[in-house]
Amino acid sequence: MNPITRRDAVAATLGGAIVLTNCGKPQTAENGKMPTDAQDTHSFSQPEKIRVRKLALDLAVSFDDKTLAGTAVLQFDAATGKDALVLDTRDLDISKIETSADGSTFSEAKWSVGQRDAILGAALTVTIPASTQFVRIAYKSQPAASGLQWLTPAQTAGKKHPFLFSQNESIHARSWIPIQDSPGVRIAYTARIRAPKGLLVLMSAEHKGASATAKEGVFDFAMDTPIPAYLIALAVGDLQFAEVGPRTGVYAEPPLLAKSAREFEDMEKMVTAAESLYGLPFGGMENPRLTFATPTILAGDKSLVGLVSHELAHSWSGNLVTNATWSDFWLNEGFTTYIENRIQEAVYGRDQAVMEQVLARRGLDKELSETPKPDQMLHIDLKGRDPDEGTTGIPYNKGALMLHQMEQVFGRETFDAYLKAYFDHFAFQSITTSTMLDYLFRELLEKHPEQAKQIPVQDWVYEPGLPVSAPKAASPRLEAVSKAAAAFAAGSTPASSIDTKQWSTQEWLEFLQALPPLKAAQMAELDKAYRLTQSGNSEVLDQWLKMAIPADYAAVNPRLEAFLLEVGRQKFIRPLYTELMKTPAGQKRAKAIYAKARPGYHPIAQTSVDKIVKSAN
């Protein structure tokens, strides 16, 4: 079992919701090029036959039924009459499908839904007459749609209104939109969303205007720059906006708004830092304009805002240059993790960036030691598997480490220029690992053959583990902390005499992770000195709870239960349930807590925690 899964941060989670916005600049058009080796095994659609270019959604949000209901109009290049349009769906209730040549006169079409695959959902095949360019599908999503989380008022920070948000990556768009759900297919979209009066609707698109009827608010959106389906996003709730900078702001539920605006006040600086690294090759940056973030990063001291730098970095690696298939996921996440660290360095200084590298490396070493060999490669085989299974920390941290090595070997100036040119060259395209490597050889390695010998590219990408030459960051601040941990563990320093006053989140994490397995009495001593069980910092608390379970330190029990009930972020809850399931007594507790917590979790988290908590049966 991998202790770290990374797939939930772009979503607001339980206990309140925050949505960050990067209002973006004018967009430019894509060039639609696609390499031919980009076989996506996670989509039924056959874009090489008919490629969808535009989507127009018109959907009503019903919190009573937990459905989105309405129509999707898909536009594609004129069909020859021989082709069928194949779309991805998962559990959609389709009532009618029509086709049209001009987008205004529609006539009923022949269509069928194939057999349902547990991972992929079902193919929807529509017969398309010659010269047809539009298809209109009337449908409804299911209450259990895997890409939507419906929160009751009790699950929100404000407690008064319900909340809905989508999470499409990796292949969940198909659970609420019939679409070519492959990262190799980019589409522009418009949407008209109707929601109960008083709620605000947000999408990863430009907001074009709002109106209202007696019962409903009606919101219009347009995303003119073609994006992959996994970047379409929707949030509906009692949200308010606070400006952070000229191009940045935050949407949050009213009780979280002031705290969020404070925590993220450096967002404009992050955007500036990111831009000065990679430039704005198109006079604007491709960006779905709306990052979703979990409230568990509101630590009160900005120590966890690296996540914002991370999501911002995706404006280049991911949204501008996209992985063509989910086996190429490291092109999105490894590059992004590297750029995240560069933004952190620019905004918070080298010390902070290096501490984050050191912690990432410890996590990576641990994860590699627990992961089957084939899944340790950067380019991984996901055939027949749910692509969400590829979302371990390995593509993130091993990928980033490879880029750190290239930066060190070629020098920052050369490597920055290379990356900038890379983003320029592949802008608005979805590319495979081999396309990226061709470019790397041509534009960097072959130009600096002596230095290139120091980069074992093949080992990085296609071998398990890490090359022996993988760089290892060192942080004097963290080294001092791990000495303090060793002294405490050896019994030579009492907890109360460790000087923790200046410690940041990263130093606390280092301290706890550097400790050997503790006895309950040692945990009690630390708790007495530092009130760790009461920590309001989600990362520190999570680390503490993970240690308390095997130590049988029962004083954390109420806090552990409350945390599992309040937080839905998989990165935290999965390792905690896994730890509990290791003993018979823990299994009993895990089951009792999970029975209460499960209804409040996102469908994706439900599926993955089901496997953990049931595995002992």
CB of 66 to Zn ion, least distance (A): 28
Distance CA 293, CA 353 (A): 21
Please choose, out of 4-12, 238-246, 465-473, 530-538, the segment that lies near ligand BES by the rule CB under 6 A: 4-12
Please give the size of the binding site for Zn ion, defined by CB under 5 A: 2
Residues 6+ apart with CB under 8 A from 337: 310, 313, 360, 396, 397, 399, 400
CB of 406 to ligand BES, least distance (A): 21
CB of 182 to ligand BES, least distance (A): 14
Strands (DSSP E) contained in 18-83 are 18-22, 52-62, 67-76
CB of 445 to Zn ion, least distance (A): 26
Which of 59, 86, 76, 69 shows the shortest CA–CA distance to 180?
A: 86
Determine which residue in the list 1, 113, 138, 307 makes contact with ligand BES, applying CB under 6 A.
307
- Closer Cβ to ligand BES, 311 or 527, answer by number: 311
Strands 206-212, 216-228: pairing is antiparallel
Which of 540, 583, 617 shows the shortest CA–CA distance to 297?
A: 540
119 is an interface residue for ligand BES by CB under 6 A? no
310 is an interface residue for ligand BES by CB under 6 A? yes
9 is an interface residue for ligand BES by CB under 6 A? yes
Please give the size of the binding site for ligand BES, defined by CB under 6 A: 16
396 carries an active-site annotation? yes
CB of 314 to ligand BES, least distance (A): 6
- Under 8 Å between Cβ of 300 and 338: no
Q: Is 384 left (phi over 0), alpha (psi -120 to 50) or beta?
A: left
- Closer Cβ to Zn ion, 248 or 336, answer by number: 336
The residue whose Cβ lies closest to ligand BES is 9
Query: CB atoms < 10 A from the CB of 107, how many?
Result: 10
Q: CA torsion 310→315→321→327, rounded to 10°?
A: 30
Which of 535, 569, 402, 617 shows the shortest CA–CA distance to 7?
A: 569
Binding mask 325-344 for Zn ion (x = CB under 5 A): --------x--x--------
Binding mask 260-299 for ligand BES (x = CB under 6 A): ----------------------------------------
Which tokens in the block code for residue 121? 């959902």
- Closer Cβ to ligand BES, 168 or 190, answer by number: 168
Binding mask 366-405 for ligand BES (x = CB under 6 A): ----------------------x--x----x---------
Q: Find which of Zn ion, ligand BES, none residue 89 binds, CB within 5 to 8 Å per kind.
A: none
Q: Report long-range pairs for 351-358 (Cβ below 8 Å, ≥24 apart).
A: 351/475, 351/477, 352/504, 352/506, 354/473, 354/474, 354/475, 355/475, 355/477, 355/478, 355/504, 355/506, 355/507, 355/510, 356/306, 356/506, 357/404, 357/473, 357/475, 358/473, 358/474, 358/475, 358/478, 358/510
229 is an interface residue for ligand BES by CB under 6 A? no
The catalytic residue among 139, 251, 338, 396 is: 396
Binding mask 130-169 for ligand BES (x = CB under 6 A): ---------------------------------------x
Determine which residue in the list 21, 27, 132, 170 makes contact with ligand BES, applying CB under 6 A.
170
Residues 6+ apart with CB under 8 A from 192: 57, 58, 59, 218, 219, 220, 221
- Closer Cβ to Zn ion, 220 or 333, answer by number: 333
Q: Find which of Zn ion, ligand BES, none residue 9 binds, CB within 5 to 8 Å per kind.
A: ligand BES
- Closer Cβ to ligand BES, 278 or 329, answer by number: 329
What is the CA angle 62-63-65, rounded to 5? 70
- Closer Cβ to ligand BES, 228 or 237, answer by number: 228
- Residue given tokens 């073609």 in the structure block: 226
Query: CB atoms < 10 A from the CB of 57, how many?
Result: 21
Distance CA 215, CA 197 (A): 6
The catalytic residue among 98, 169, 253, 311 is: 311
Q: Find which of ligand BES, Zn ion, none residue 10 binds, CB within 5 to 8 Å per kind.
A: ligand BES
Which of 23, 474, 605 shows the shortest CA–CA distance to 289?
A: 23
The residues that touch ligand BES, with contacts defined as CB under 6 A, are 6-10, 169-170, 307, 310-311, 314, 333, 388, 391, 396, 571
What are the residues binding Zn ion (CB under 5 A)? Answer: 333, 336
- Positions marked active-site: 311, 396
